[in-house]
Amino acid sequence: MNDFGNWTTIDCPTKNEEEALIFLNKLLKPLNSEARLKMNPHDFGAYPSFEIDCYDEAIDYNPEIDEEDPEENKDLATRHEELIDKLNEVEKKYIKKFEEWL
């Protein structure tokens, strides 16, 4: 597993960290994804973030590479777009719920 999420990294709230992790994983599990807490090093000091990993093969679709055979990858491209939309919705719900502490 990578140190950083293969989909994205999102800020961890300054309060309710455990609640936020549970909330995220509840929304991410149906998308074959998960959030994990990581302390990220930085020049101003380490800070916590949630690393989001997605295990669906569609997450790795890259139009610049995979468009060489567009017909073969049409379903994968569609699944990729739908997956990204759903993951973005999870992030929006997370931000709305925990915005006071982000």
pLDDT greater than 70 at residue 2: no
pLDDT greater than 60 at residue 1: no
Chain-wide mean pLDDT for the chain? 90
**Domain coordinates of the chain in residue numbers?**
8-101
Helix residue ranges per DSSP H, the chain: 17-28, 63-66, 74-98
- The pLDDT tens digits of the residues spanning 45-75 come to 888 999 999 999 999 888 777 666 667 778 8
- Residue found under tokens 């093969």: 57
CA-CA-CA-CA dihedral for 69, 70, 74, 80, to nearest 10: 90
